[in-house]
Structure 1
Amino acid sequence: MNMSANIGKNDEPVTRQTFDDVMVPVFAPASFVPVRGSGLDLWDQNGKHYLDLTGGIAVSGLGHTPPEIVDALVEQAKKLWHVSNYFTNEPVLKLARALADATFAEKVFFCNSGGEANEAAFKLARKWAHDHFGEKKNRIVSCYHSFHGRTLFTVTVGGQSKYTEGFEPLPPRIDHIPFNDIEAARAAIDDDVCAVVVEPVQGEGGILPADPDYLRSLRRLCNEKNALLVFDEIQCGMGRTGTLFAYMGYGVVPDIMTSAKALGNGFPIAAMLTTSEIARSFSVGSHGTTYGGNPLAAAVACKVFETINRPEFLQRVVEAGEKLKFSLERVAADYPDVFSGVRGKGLMLGLVMSGKYQGRAKEITAAAEKQGLLLLLAGYDVIRYVPALVVSDEHIEQGEALLRKAIDSWLEEN
């Protein structure tokens, strides 16, 4: 092998074409390559500016390269990066204590991604049920159109067949019910159920908030059937709906909750939170992770958590959410043939396609990209808005103006 030739190749500029050349094709990224970001501003390799209202899919809650988070990362990087789980470290202990103090939880498990956090949650639920009620209590009930991760276990719990087709056989004893359907929940949740899993606000499923009565009913049913209620707050947590975690706004307390995405503002970290009694079903060696809770990630998450978990910050999220919703409702009203309305909570909102334009949301997000506005999808019919929680009134106004330009140009072509 000519090693010098390989080294020379690595010095060549990379472009969007490089992705097609060398990456496994599980993503279809945009035609441009971002290289620099600040707040909600993003620039590509050619220097073109974009207003980023995607938040890295609800990850960059504090925007791109927030100075206080950069400082926390750099400071920790000079001290300690990794020591393995044969040891603990100060940042992870501080983060665990902060999460426990602020939530229902007493125990925390850290890992690297939302899928891993949910994997841990589902394993713990089955182990807890086995310990207390025997091996036959192992069925998990989840909702159609939910999303809980990409491992074989978590993608099966998520009720979207498009993510499981071709990967069979799937893990058994996992059933799905319609979201927000109390009667379907009553029919499905029996004594053999170990856990009921739900997103307080469905993300991938179309930005659908749970009805408060629905979550209260799930809580009662779980209590009656000795099942654990698991809230997946990977996307809707960490201030996204205007409370620190969405369950707080509903007044319904889960037995297990998962968090990721905005917890690290882009640095990979996730957490599973639960009570001491439930956590006892895990013992040394029964579950684990190599990188989970490493000092770098924990130090970043500590600063993120400290920044978001302030009344004035969360109040601003509520206000910004109301302003953004009003802006989107104004657009929907002015284009009634294109949009049927707006739904969601806080800064997790969906602009819903209407009539003959159903299934064509992707065309509008593509038109918006040409105007320098970055938006997301939630299925085929919903344009998803999950901007950084620090979005300003000016950003919202700018986003509306760019969206209108995109819609007008798209309608001219259609």
Structure 2
Amino acid sequence: MNAKLDSGVTTRPVTRQTFDEVLVPTYAPANFVPVRASGLDVWDQEGKHYLDFTSGIAVCSLGHSNPVLNAAVIKQMQTAWHFSNAYTNEPVLRLGLALTEATFADRAFFCNSGAEANEAALKLARKYAHAKFGPHKSRIVSCLSSFHGRTLFTVSVGGQSKYTEGFEPLPQDINHINYNDIESARAAITDDVCAVIVEPIQGEGGVIPGDLAFLKELRELCNKTGALLIFDEVQSGVGRTGALFEYMNIGITPDILTSAKALGNGFPIGAMLTTNEIAQQFNVGAHGTTYGGNPLAATAALTVLDEMSKPGFFDRVKEASARIFANLEQLAVDYPQLFGKVRGKGLLIGLPMAEGYKGKAKDYTKTAEKLGLMLLVAGPDVVRLAPPLVVSDAQIAEADRIMRQAADEFLKAA
């Protein structure tokens, strides 16, 4: 029999070791425990300060504890938290209007994460194809090294076998092509394909921008075969590339777009956007979610969109991006034995390790972390930078200083 719940459970001391003792080991978090954050500043249990160039993996794009967001969410918390989808609510209606007015879409579906948004997109694509063409049109085409979520369906669609090992049998009728390979796409996208899903910039796969010719070819092949083109903008969207969504930068309109991460600035929310014609296949009862579009999440997302709509916001993202790219290009020149050519777009940036240090990206970020700079990796070979979009010039300069110091210390220890 289990012991009685301890009345002091909410205040007992915890450390990084507590993770290893009580949580399922699906992650290997850093050795420090963040307890407080503001803007790009983070402090751990020991009071040590860090400069955050991760944004919680491209999530907190307006910075931690953003006061405008705090005020909006607190006001909504004092009004109503949750009604369920047996009812609608004013914030989600406003959010639906805001996103459809700002994008190609006529309809929005709200959920709680990027994986759920992609799950909804893939289910909708199959249902649409079955209704319009018949059940033979069911195959889904994705790209190798892609990442679309951790549900069984989305992890199968993602093009990284390490995430599907041990979970077989996997959903069927899913094929993978080489990213940025037009001939691979032409061979795979035939009349039995219901959907092609692609990240305009591969995030977890190494921060690799999609070639414009490749993405245009996907659009044309989908037009030709009647397949739906799904853009996964979970990581690239909501301002990170200097536009609300990357499809706007490149001038290629998908049939379905998925968003999450930065949409709620840390409050869990996902969105699937599509057209009237396609959305009609999700009739009452065809799909759903208990928490999707709740007033708190919708308020957070609305406030994010409102802040990003202010004059000059995206121009500043591009300006900050140019500064960071210039710094990293010079870093690679000064440390050619350690780093390769920087790549990415906006404030989603990848810095590959040089040939002699392949597989050591995490080791480098740990060195930077000890010096007070939080960085990400995108696979074992790429250092990933995804700072909040509100990053200042002074913070960009400080990150550059720490990255150089980390490079010196990393090379000495190698």
Identify the TM-score tier after normalising by the shorter chain.
over 0.9
Q: Deviations over 1:39-84 (max 9, x none)?
A: 0000000100000000100000001000000000001011111001
Sort the Cα spacing of 1:192 and 1:306 in 2 relative to 1 into closer, same or farther, 3 A. Answer: same
Verify: 1:99 aligned to 2:95, yes or no: no
Which residue pairs with 1:157 in the alignment? 157
Verify: 1:229 aligned to 2:211, yes or no: no
Which residue pairs with 1:262 in the alignment? 262
Task: For residue 7 of structure 1, report the CA deviation from its aligned partner.
Answer: 3.3
Structure 1 segment 274-353 matched on structure 2, within 5 A: 274-353=274-353
Task: Output the amino acid matched with 1:98.
Answer: A
Q: Deviations over 1:130-151 (max 9, x none)?
A: 0000000000000000000000
Which residue pairs with 1:42 in the alignment? 42
Structure 1 segment 105-144 matched on structure 2, within 5 A: 105-144=105-144
Q: Distance in 1 between the 2:62 and 2:10 partners?
A: 33
Task: Output the amino acid matched with 1:79.
Answer: T
Which residue pairs with 2:204 in the alignment? 204
Q: Deviations over 1:8-58 (max 9, x none)?
A: 565430110111111010011110100000000000001000000001000
Task: For residue 309 of structure 1, report the CA deviation from its aligned partner.
Answer: 2.9
Deviates more, 1:11-20 or 1:179-188: 11-20
Task: Output the amino acid matched with 1:218.
Answer: L
Q: Percent of aligned pairs with the same residue?
A: 62
Contact 1:63–1:390 (8 Å) recurs in 2:
yes
Sort the Cα spacing of 1:345 and 1:5 in 2 relative to 1 into closer, same or farther, 3 A. Answer: closer
Which residue pairs with 1:249 in the alignment? 249
Q: Distance in 2 between the 1:201 and 1:18 partners?
A: 36
Residue aligned with 1:286, SS: coil
Task: For residue 250 of structure 1, report the CA deviation from its aligned partner.
Answer: 0.5
Which residue pairs with 1:395 in the alignment? 395
Task: Output the amino acid matched with 1:365.
Answer: T
Which residue pairs with 2:59 in the alignment? 59
Task: For residue 359 of structure 1, report the CA deviation from its aligned partner.
Answer: 1.1
Listed as ranges, the gaps of 5+ residues in structure 1 are none
Which residue pairs with 1:384 in the alignment? 384
Q: Distance in 1 between the 2:2 and 2:285 partners?
A: 44
TM-score (norm 2): 0.99
Q: Distance in 2 between the 1:156 and 1:325 partners?
A: 34
Q: Distance in 1 between the 2:4 and 2:352 partners?
A: 54
Task: Output the amino acid matched with 1:97.
Answer: L
Deviates more, 1:262-271 or 1:323-332: 323-332
Q: Distance in 1 between the 2:208 and 2:310 partners?
A: 26
Q: Deviations over 1:162-210 (max 9, x none)?
A: 0000000000000000000011100100000000000000000000000
Q: Distance in 1 between the 2:182 and 2:350 partners?
A: 23
Q: Distance in 2 between the 1:195 and 1:9 partners?
A: 48
Q: Distance in 1 between the 2:285 and 2:118 partners?
A: 18
Aligned residues: 414
Residue aligned with 2:125, SS: helix
Sort the Cα spacing of 1:2 and 1:130 in 2 relative to 1 into closer, same or farther, 3 A. Answer: closer
Q: Deviations over 1:88-122 (max 9, x none)?
A: 00000000000000000000000000000000000
Residue aligned with 2:340, SS: strand
Task: Output the amino acid matched with 1:91.
Answer: P
Which residue pairs with 2:167 in the alignment? 167
Task: For residue 280 of structure 1, report the CA deviation from its aligned partner.
Answer: 0.6
Structure 1 outlier segments of 4+, above 6 Å: none
Contact 1:180–1:210 (8 Å) recurs in 2:
yes
Residue aligned with 1:7, SS: coil
Verify: 1:32 aligned to 2:66, yes or no: no
Task: Output the amino acid matched with 2:373.
Answer: L
Task: For residue 3 of structure 1, report the CA deviation from its aligned partner.
Answer: 5.1
Contact 1:244–1:309 (8 Å) recurs in 2:
no
Q: Distance in 1 between the 2:216 and 2:231 partners?
A: 13
Task: For residue 2 of structure 1, report the CA deviation from its aligned partner.
Answer: 7.9
TM-score (norm 1): 0.99
Listed as ranges, the gaps of 5+ residues in structure 2 are none
Which residue pairs with 1:89 in the alignment? 89
The alignment's C-alpha RMSD in Å is 1.1
Verify: 1:404 aligned to 2:407, yes or no: no
Which residue pairs with 2:413 in the alignment? 413
Task: Output the amino acid matched with 2:213.
Answer: D
Residue aligned with 1:339, SS: coil
Task: For residue 311 of structure 1, report the CA deviation from its aligned partner.
Answer: 4.5
